[in-house]
Structure 1
Amino acid sequence: MAENEQADLAVGQGPKLVGLHESIATLLASRGQWRQAYQHLRSALDLVHADQDEEPHVPEQLRREVDRLRREHAEAREQSLRDSLTDSYNRRYLDQQLIDLLAEHGACRHGLAIALIDLDWFKQVNDTFGHLLGDRVLQRVVELLQQDLPEGAFCARYGGEEFVLVLPRVDAVAAVEVAEAARERVERHPWHEIAPGLRVTVSAGLAYEPPADEAPQRPAVSAEQQLLRADSLLYSAKQSGRNAVAYRSDGRVRLAGAASGRRAIAETRVIGYR
């Protein structure tokens, strides 16, 4: 909106428009458009000090500008929380959500599971089929991981070929079922349709935090602690032969689904296991 148009809108308009000008200024400032934001704040200030006897009419042009800027602001914020390659949520969003979910009054009161998922032998996929196809594999894996997630759950890229499924408000049994179903979808996907001879599997470590009322004496955990637990269990899944989901039950490391007949090794974190 040009300066003369803003001035025309500001003339003779009263307090009802102050909020609209302030909203526009806030949205413009969030985009670094300081000069335009300042102009709207000046318009709002003029309206505050104006002597108006009648409630002014809000120009439709100003309403449209507010709506447009709000949409653009929401879209820009959403994009800043997405991974550019896979369109899953990124590490920034993951960290923010885990802090909220594990807060004293967060969703951990209802149970929270975190599955750290890693593609098996992904370097070989890149070396054999090329990095462009490797990118396609990552995108398809995310699509498969995100299918049929329970309400409130989401997938985020943790880094490289690692992803995290965050499952709030679930019990331990349901969390294992969701993670195992995701692993199975990846294994059964017709990867040969992308490239002959291509096969992709994933391994996962599932860490579960029970509801507070089920374990009242259990000390609170941080997001970092739960991710470390999931990482340790991911190591167990890898060492058991890969293509498996590892979790803890009754103090023991167990493997889900088709891998349950394997011997699960002790839960230990070892650097460089991939």
Structure 2
Amino acid sequence: MTTAEHAAELRRLHTAPELLQVVNVWDVVSATAVAALPGTRALATASHSIAATYGYPDGEQIPLDLMLDMVGRIARGVDVPVSADLEAGYGDAGETIRRAIGEGVAGANLEDQLKPLDEAVAAVRAAVAAADAEGVPFALNARTDAFVHGRGRPLEVNVADAIERGRAFLDAGATCVFVPGMFGDDVVAELVAGIGELRVSVIGLPGVPAPARLQELGVARVSYGPTTQRVALGALQDLATSLYDGGVLPEGIRPLN
């Protein structure tokens, strides 16, 4: 499939009645391992995990060229649409999206970092315009950090802020609104009611409703951020500990690389 075809499919998956689950990956081998599963319809990269792979902290500390090189390798290494976590756009959301499309990326997360609303909306508009100029129906998952950077504020303030920003991002052309945070059914229902059914994306965390419930609540997408890499690294540490303690490699290791 072409990048435009992958992007159209990714947008369709966001608006389909069935919840879109995307398991986050960080390099080509993690991507191909997950893409091989029958349940995989699309993949998402995790910026935190890719930065950690190269030895950088999260938060646009990794050089953009390195980030784009990796997401491009991932996109070219699998046969499903790839949504890239491109943080806040690395200083130029439009140009970053344009370059990501050139790497074969079909969609992206773009976070607002709780910047003034007009600045955040301008970044979304720039990203959408860049994709339109490339002729790609890009699936932009516009992220609001109302909860991530709004810690300490009353819950109702964060909910109202997320809804206001989410509506503005959709009006600016975003496909979906990503509202990461640790909250339950009631907040998810408020966000869906305020932003729109099949327009809200959340992150799977302990305490967040299970996928089946998220689908019942009208959520479009759930992803898992850097947690997937942490699980893999935890398994590696556990294996190393077992070997150091005199253990042996377990039976049934799958040759996934």
TM-score, normalisation: structure 2: 0.25
Structure 1 or 2: more helix by fraction: 1
Higher relative contact order (CA 8 A, sep 6+): 2
